[in-house]
Amino acid sequence: AATLPDQQPEHDASMLVALSRAYHWQRLLDTGVVDSGSDIARREGLHQTTVNELLRLTLLSPTLVNSILDGHQPKTLSLLWLKNNLPPSDWGEQHALFDAFDA
């Protein structure tokens, strides 16, 4: 989505925390520190479903991740929506989906 020059960023703290946790956990998986989402859940004292829902955030396109980090994500996009819905794996389809949020 195009950012209007006068549009002030609105950072969603819960989304920022979720993204940072997801990328940290993915790094632990990629480097072999942990073997699975179950290992992460045990270490963090979380339900495995929560870990898996957040790990899906690492599948978002880099452009969308940067929009969230910059505070320019769609206003109607929430962490709850991201946890409960699996965005398309194709980045172009993700952009079309998220562009439609505030349309």
Q: What is the pTM (predicted TM-score) of this model?
A: 0.85
Residue type, 46: L
Query: Is the pLDDT at 31 greater than 50, yes or no?
Result: yes
Taking residues 38-64, report their average pLDDT: 95
Percent of the chain scored above 90 by pLDDT?
76
Top pLDDT among 9 and 91 is at 91
**Is 72 within 8 Å of 9 (Cβ atoms)?**
yes
Mean pLDDT of the chain: 91
Q: What are the CA-CA distances from residue 95 to residues 21, 41, 69, 101 (Å)? A: 23, 30, 16, 10
